């Protein structure tokens, strides 16, 4: 079996790859074992993924067409399943904490891996969130659960300015984080592809379902336009709660 590293979620309505039962990412169609890379064509865009096991193989490429994804978010319970699955990894505490922080603060992959310890004030329970895509920065409160997890992580990685680091003590890469989330989705036995951006959407839907103000959610997620936020309130089931009474 071939194992391909890399996961692209920039194309909103497509899945780039799937992950097998062993927690390895590979294309949704079988490819030649000589393939050194895979080019995934999605809506006119191409994303290349490197075959991490066959670096020395012949330099060939295979085109893989993938279909549209279904639901783009996870429920609160599904996030907990993902966290529990991530705990079983070799860097289980780091991975589970990364998923928790990304979910609680609606972080994109690039925002999560860029987190530094000087962005976090554990004494006052505050997190300074620097948004990508020209989003508005903000200061979020840190829950007690997050604080405990982060303090433990700090003790384990006190020499790095970055919160989430690899085994080589380098900042965790976007691709590495995305692969970890995808593998955790397989380990949690989800029947659909789980990708890291689902955690940002999960945050938005959870806040909307809890009845929080749309403007407050907009500020929390750093949206420049409220039109990016109303997608969450539009799908909340509470809007239809009293439609039928038996």
Tell me the per-residue pLDDT of 69-100, one tens digit each, with 9 for 90 and over: 567 899 999 999 999 999 999 999 999 999 99
The domain in which residue 173 lies consists of 76-199
In the set 133, 145, 151, 152, the catalytic residue is 133
pLDDT at 72: 85
How many other C-beta atoms are found inside a 10 Å radius of the C-beta of residue 180?
Answer: 22
pLDDT at 69: 53
- 55 with 82, same domain: the answer is no
What is the number of structural domains in the chain?
2
In the set 73, 103, 177, 232, the catalytic residue is 232
In a domain, 239, yes or no: no
Residue ending a domain, among 22, 43, 65, is: 65
pLDDT at 220: 96
Note if 77 is an active site residue: no
- Which parts of the chain sit beneath pLDDT 70? 1-70, 158
- 156 with 175, same domain: the answer is yes
- 26 with 81, same domain: the answer is no
* pTM of structure: 0.72
pLDDT at 64: 42
In the set 24, 131, 197, 206, the catalytic residue is 197
Note if 223 is an active site residue: yes
pLDDT at 70: 66
In a domain, 82, yes or no: yes
- 169 with 89, same domain: the answer is yes
In the set 108, 131, 183, 201, the catalytic residue is 108
Note if 128 is an active site residue: no
Note if 116 is an active site residue: no
Note if 177 is an active site residue: no
pLDDT at 246: 74
Note if 140 is an active site residue: no
- 89 with 41, same domain: the answer is no
- 105 with 170, same domain: the answer is yes
């Amino acid at each position: 079996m071939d194992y391909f590293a890399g996961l692209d979620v920039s194309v909103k309505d497509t899945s780039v790859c799937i992950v097998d039962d062993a927690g390895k990412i590979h294309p949704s169609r079988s490819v030649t074992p000589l393939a050194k890379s895979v080019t995934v064509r999605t809506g006119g865009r191409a994303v290349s993924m490197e075959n991490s096991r066959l670096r020395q193989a012949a330099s060939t490429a295979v085109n893989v067409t993938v279909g549209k994804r279904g639901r783009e978010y996870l429920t609160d319970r599904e996030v907990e399943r993902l966290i529990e699955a991530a705990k079983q990894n070799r860097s289980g505490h780091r991975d589970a904490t990364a998923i928790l922080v990304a979910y609680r603060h609606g972080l994109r992959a690039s925002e999560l891996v860029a987190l530094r310890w000087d962005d976090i004030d554990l004494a006052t329970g505050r997190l300074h969130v620097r948004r990508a895509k020209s989003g508005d920065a903000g200061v979020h409160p840190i829950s007690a659960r997050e604080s405990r997890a982060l303090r433990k992580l700090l003790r384990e990685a006190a020499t790095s300015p970055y919160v989430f680091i690899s085994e080589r003590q380098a900042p965790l890469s976007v691709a590495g984080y995305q692969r970890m989330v995808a593998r955790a989705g397989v380990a949690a036995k989800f029947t659909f592809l789980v990708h890291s951006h689902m955690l940002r959407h999960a945050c938005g839907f959870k806040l909307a379902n809890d009845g929080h103000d749309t403007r407050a959610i907009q500020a929390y997620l750093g949206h420049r336009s409220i039109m990016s936020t109303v997608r969450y309130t539009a799908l909340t089931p509470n809007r239809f709660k009293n439609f039928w009474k038996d």
